[in-house]
Amino acid sequence: MDIAESIPRHFGGDGEIVDQKNLEAVVREVLDAMEGKSVDGSSSRQQGAGLYEDAVAEEAAAVIHALERVRTAGTLHFDSCVVVRGSGLRAMLCIAALRTSGIGAVTALVEDAEHMALAGRMGAAGVVTCSVYADPEELCAAVERSFGGELADVGFQCSDSPEAHGEMYRCIRSGGVLCELGLTKGERSIAVDPYLAFCEKEMTVIGAGGSTPRDLKVAQAFLRRAREMGIPVDELDMIGRTVPEKQAVRKEET
């Protein structure tokens, strides 16, 4: 059975975790293997593939890994209400992956109005601009309205913001799950009310910081399925890159 056919039921899962240092090499190997090419350099990579495409594949694999970790917790279903926090590549791919897997009730929490339309094109049924709400309680109320008066069952925190992580607990129902896949290394503190999050609401927090070789294969299937569904994932390769970074990558590819 084609991997793409299993996406709505199963996302990745097995194998050794790949660290960031070796991830690009694994991506290249998997892409070549999926195209029927050797991995010893005897044949060229897929024509037209470049560092932008590799970056999207890497981020998609990390998203697939996070969705699989939440799925195995038994809380991610077709009728789940899901909130995704972030405006970057990882957040947008997370929205697209949820939509591709058949989950329609997805609300995006973006940082500014510029990303509202893009989140909608990725598949978000509702979009909330965080900068409009100075009070976390008001932000939580906006999320609740987007789901018709219900809080989210699952939240994916994709931004590199400790403040955003802390705010997500208020947006998720009692017994729900928060998956953190956006924070990067650094000694930073997160303001969380432990009683509210872990005692009163009995929430589960799941961390996702890597991917497996299988995740990379499923990520390619997810991207193909998204394109077939008309989700413009190919517009995402520029997200999160500065102009000098784009120019440097283009120069390296030529």
* pTM score of the predicted model: 0.75
- Distance of alpha carbon 28 from alpha carbon 48, whole angstroms: 13
Angle, in degrees to the nearest 10, between helices 213-228 and 89-100: 70
Instruction: Count other Cβ atoms within 10 Å, centred on residue 135.
Output: 8
What are the boundaries of each domain within the chain?
3-61+212-253, 79-207
- Secondary structure letter of residue 79 according to DSSP: T
Instruction: Give the model's pLDDT for residue 236.
Output: 82
**85 contact partners, CB below 8 Å, separation of at least 6:** 91, 109, 130, 155, 156, 157, 158, 159, 164, 167, 168, 182
The percent of residues above 70 in pLDDT, for the chain, comes to 72
Instruction: Give the model's pLDDT for residue 75.
Output: 83
- Distance of alpha carbon 97 from alpha carbon 219, whole angstroms: 9
pLDDT tens digits along 25-74 = 544 554 554 444 434 444 333 444 556 677 788 899 999 999 999 998 88
Higher pLDDT, 185 or 90: 90
Instruction: Evaluate whether 50 touches 122 at the Cβ level (below 8 Å).
Output: no
pLDDT tens digits along 118-141 = 999 999 999 999 989 989 899 999
Instruction: Give the model's pLDDT for residue 50.
Output: 59
Instruction: Count other Cβ atoms within 10 Å, centred on residue 68.
Output: 22
Average pLDDT, the chain: 78
Instruction: Give the model's pLDDT for residue 190.
Output: 78
pLDDT tens digits along 195-235 = 877 888 889 999 998 899 999 999 999 999 999 999 999 88
Instruction: Give the model's pLDDT for residue 28.
Output: 53
Candidates 3.40.50.720, 3.30.450.40, 3.30.420.40, 3.40.50.620; correct CATH number of 79-207? 3.40.50.720
Higher pLDDT, 147 or 234: 147
